[in-house]
Structure 1
Amino acid sequence: MRAVVALRSIKQPEEIAELDKAADVGYLMHTTAMRMCKPGVSEQAITGAIEGIAVGQGYMPSFPVILSQNGETLHNHDHSQILQKGRMLLVDAGAEIASHYASDFTRTFPVDWVFTQRQKDIYNIVLQANNHATSLCKPGVTYQSIHLEAAKVIAAGLKELGIMTGDVDEAVANGAHAMFFPHGLGHMLGLDVHDMEDLGENNVGYDDEISRIDQFGTAYLRLGRRLQTGFVLTSEPGIYFIPALIEKWKSEKINSSFINYDKAMEYIGFGGIRLEDDVLITEKGHRLLGSQRVPITVEEVEAIVGKG
């Protein structure tokens, strides 16, 4: 099994070309969603349109589209809502092309075209975590360490807003960030969206050197091992305000030294923000897959949302 994992983990130039092609279709899917996004439009209409982009080229979505104003619900496949002013739309989608190579992007954007200051504050923390994590991607670095560095960016940003408190390194070591970032930074990508997942996450994402950390949040990191040239993976940090999780941790006083629960409670109803890119590990570092990056800065997003 390890031999199969080793073979499929290193992508050949022909495979990378196919992954770039899948990423370009994913770009069209996400920019279409952005242009269609405005108050009064149904989530179903946008979902159907972006699925149609893949199908219309003879391809298919690489997984069931996640598209929801309730971004705090991870992997939300309910598309029953009408877009409302003041909310944000989280879209996690990609394409599987004829050769079966896949893309997987996530973007979050304001329904009424412009972020509120509160939305922008949280968004820019996630963007900083995304950019920082990607900047660290190079051969020889463990993805587990990059996940923890992204968590520190999130904890530091939330501390500036008064939502988290105390020493950032200690907060992350104690898993306090995971109330807001309760999943892993990313996973391998290839012929499967979660590449080779059927071979077992621990066989694919970990090895004899790097073991899974048994702590809420970080325990769900699918890829922790040392990166190699030719790996393709996702980088997808997020911040979510999950009412049930906040209330549970508050009632049990979990990590109360690092979380200002009164402040966190003010964000119930905010939703969630995730930003995900597809990353190729190169000999000297990394590059993003696709001809161009899906719009991601506040300025880029506000320039396209609702312009359909």
Structure 2
Amino acid sequence: MFTPEIYTARRAALRKKLKSGVILLPGNLDSPINYPANVYDFRQDSNFLYYFGLAQPGFVGVIDVDRDTDCLYADEWTMDDLIWMGPQPTVRERAALAGVGSAGSLQELAATLNSAIKKGRKVHYLPPYRSATKLQLSAWLGIAAERLKDHVSRDLIRAVISMREIKGPEEIAQLEEAALTGYKMHTTAMTMCREGIGERNIAVELERIAGQAGGRLSFRSIVSQHGETLHNLSYDGRLQAGRLLLIDAGAETAMGYASDHTRTIPVSGKFTQKQQEIYDIVLAANAKAQELARPGVTYQSIHLAAMRVIAEGLRALGLMKGDPAEAVKAGAAALFMPHGLGHQMGLDVHDLEELGEKYVGYDDATTRSTLFGLGALRMGKALKAGHVVTDEPGIYFIPALIEKWERERIHTAYIDFAKLHDYFDFGGIRLEDDILITQNGNRLLSRHRAPITVADVEKAMAK
């Protein structure tokens, strides 16, 4: 946890952003795997973490805007709990760690909320994403679970996003710690990559490194020779000479802050000419995004600039044709990169997206496109100092998508489909870094950058 003063200041700032009412922030509960006592590894709700910092299940935070008070609610441990778990701090002792002087039971919470509702006070809550939380909210607020989404507080959503998306110094230090672990994960994978080893062996080692650093994976790693499948979570393959291995993986610190990096490496240790040609285009797009990222510039415009680099590079190879700018505008280049350039990152690897991408990645000035590829961009609005975003361009040769477009004669003015057939077994390449937007530009969120140029990747693999 951070110091109690940090959480106290965050809650005070949140109260000032709302005019009145009661803010209800439930933490997560344990989730059973196959029977009640056998549970998944616990992960606290990130909004609860941000304002209260406690990483234990069963806690609920209430911030009273009108009365300028905070309270934490949870049930005390029973003797049976203590027999199995050993001595535990009381609810009040836990609350003190977050700078909260008032504590109560869940029964008292229900009474508090019931009183507020009877008095006509607004109870602000965020969109719930877990079934157990939905059932709790339904019982406390008297709203059917399927109707909860109709009553979420848009004011609270906007207030939380405005605070959480701008990272403080203490958060940046955590993100840098996560990035360092990510660096160790990717450089280790490069030394492990060789013909015959299983994809699963590398995936397991990545998880071990994240856990040894005191945290966990920030998401389930992608370790695949089928990089053309954007979120390939199958680890059944054995590495084959001549193939490319795409590794998209990140770490989460003990306090919940994430990293997210992607590298694509040649199983043989050396890129073929064909692989290097495509790789260098993706690398140039990655560099273009870093060059342009600064406060006041929309990430949507940076996405389009990176796509322009990709279209120009593929035209030089004869895979695309016509004007690259027009090809991007028409959406033709999205055949090769059907996803967005990046997303926000922080306490979650896709930070704040549970609150709604239209609030997190867009605003009144920047609306989401309906164009294929560009419409998948999660973060499009203007950048601000303190934003942390991923920069992850890619080029993918997806046979089913290519065949569909060819069959339906989509964008034939910009794409040479005949030449693409030679790339059906190519796979895909993605290169991803995490960047912090500063007052004058941006910087990478790591003291060490995992090898990314062709020469540096081949050198790392030679070890």
TM-score by length of 2: 0.66
Determine which of 392, 401, 408 is the counterpart of 1:252: 408
Conserved? CA contact 1:238–1:274, under 8 Å: yes
Determine which of 293, 298, 314 is the counterpart of 1:142: 298
Conserved? CA contact 1:96–1:102, under 8 Å: yes
Q: Distance in 1 between matches of 2:337 and 2:273?
A: 21
1:279 corresponding residue in structure 2: 435
Determine which of 212, 225, 238 is the counterpart of 1:56: 212
Q: Distance in 2 between matches of 1:273 and 1:305?
A: 17
1:36 corresponds to 2:169 = no
One-letter amino acid of the counterpart of residue 269, structure 2: W
Conserved? CA contact 1:90–1:109, under 8 Å: yes
Conserved? CA contact 1:37–1:306, under 8 Å: no
Determine which of 333, 338, 341 is the counterpart of 1:177: 333
> Per-residue deviation at 1:58?
2.1
1:302 corresponding residue in structure 2: 458
Secondary structure of the equivalent of 1:266?
A: helix
Runs of 4+ in 1 over 4 A off after TM superposition: none
Instruction: Report how many aligned residue pairs link the two structures.
Output: 307
Name which structure has the greater RCO, CA cutoff 8 Å, separation 6+: 1
> Per-residue deviation at 1:240?
0.1
Q: Which of structures 1 and 2 has the bigger CA Rg?
A: 2
1:132 corresponds to 2:300 = no
Secondary structure of the equivalent of 2:425?
A: coil
Q: Distance in 1 between matches of 2:171 and 2:211?
A: 21
Q: Distance in 1 between matches of 2:315 and 2:461?
A: 30
1:99 corresponds to 2:255 = yes
> Per-residue deviation at 1:57?
2.2
Bigger mean CA deviation after superposition, 56-65 or 230-239 = 56-65
Determine which of 279, 285, 296 is the counterpart of 1:123: 279
Bigger mean CA deviation after superposition, 297-306 or 36-45 = 297-306
1:201 corresponding residue in structure 2: 357
> Per-residue deviation at 1:222?
0.2
Q: Distance in 2 between matches of 1:269 and 1:3?
A: 47
Secondary structure of the equivalent of 1:121?
A: helix
> Per-residue deviation at 1:266?
1.2
Conserved? CA contact 1:38–1:306, under 8 Å: no
Conserved? CA contact 1:112–1:306, under 8 Å: no
> Per-residue deviation at 1:45?
0.5
Secondary structure of the equivalent of 1:183?
A: coil
Which string of whole-angstrom CA distances, capped at 9 and with x for unpartnered residues, describes residues 133-154 of structure 1? 1110000000000000000000
1:90 corresponding residue in structure 2: 246
Q: Distance in 1 between matches of 2:373 and 2:306?
A: 13
Secondary structure of the equivalent of 1:91?
A: strand
Q: Distance in 2 between matches of 1:143 and 1:22?
A: 23
TM-score by length of 1: 0.99
1:187 corresponding residue in structure 2: 343
Determine which of 225, 229, 241 is the counterpart of 2:385: 229
Q: Distance in 2 between matches of 1:134 and 1:302?
A: 23
Give the root-mean-square deviation of aligned CA atoms.
0.6
Q: Distance in 1 between matches of 2:270 and 2:352?
A: 39
Conserved? CA contact 1:72–1:271, under 8 Å: yes
Conserved? CA contact 1:36–1:306, under 8 Å: no
Uncovered stretches (5+) of structure 2, i.e. residues with no partner: 1-156
2:231 corresponding residue in structure 1: 75
Conserved? CA contact 1:163–1:259, under 8 Å: yes
Secondary structure of the equivalent of 1:53?
A: helix
2:128 corresponding residue in structure 1: none
Uncovered stretches (5+) of structure 1, i.e. residues with no partner: none
Conserved? CA contact 1:182–1:216, under 8 Å: yes
Secondary structure of the equivalent of 1:195?
A: coil
